[in-house]
Amino acid sequence: MAKITYNTHDDKTHTIDVQKGLSVMEGAVQNDIPGIDADCGGGMACATCHVYVNEEWLDKLPAKEDGEEDMLDMAYEPKNNSRLSCQLIVSDELDGLIVNIPSEQS
């Protein structure tokens, strides 16, 4: 288990124990955290699981694949700290990760 904190657009904070091996997206969907659509189911094909990662975590995450960067072009208001949460796999290294869910996914 690793603690992942999701800040939703309604200014609520949800800190969840997510099983290692699941994605940050799955952690949100399985725990009914609002604002993550994940239309394609985690296939890096839709950009509706878009999150903003807290700055201090940016360097600690695995680098983006080209496909993820390409999909982020399609996301709603992408920024430098944008990631697709389906591509962030929960591990001990991610314990304490804080992500912010955008106001919209499309």
- Kindly tell me the number of DSSP H helices and DSSP E strands found in the chain: 2, 5
The answer to whether 69 contacts other proteins (rule: CB under 8 A) is yes
For residue 56, the SS3 value is helix
Q: How far is the CB of 92 from other proteins (least distance, A)?
A: 28
Number of residues interacting with other proteins: please give it, by CB under 8 A: 21
Single residue of 23, 48, 85, 87 touching other proteins by CB under 8 A: 48
The answer to whether 45 contacts other proteins (rule: CB under 8 A) is yes
For residue 92, the SS3 value is helix
Whole-angstrom Cα distance, residue 69 to residue 45?
11
Instruction: Map the footprint of other proteins across residues 77-106, applying CB under 8 A.
Output: 77-80, 104, 106
Q: Which of 28, 11, 10, 9 is nearest to 97 (CA)?
A: 28
Residue 78: enclosing H or E segment and its boundaries?
none
Single residue of 4, 28, 46, 97 touching other proteins by CB under 8 A: 46
Single residue of 29, 49, 51, 84 touching other proteins by CB under 8 A: 29
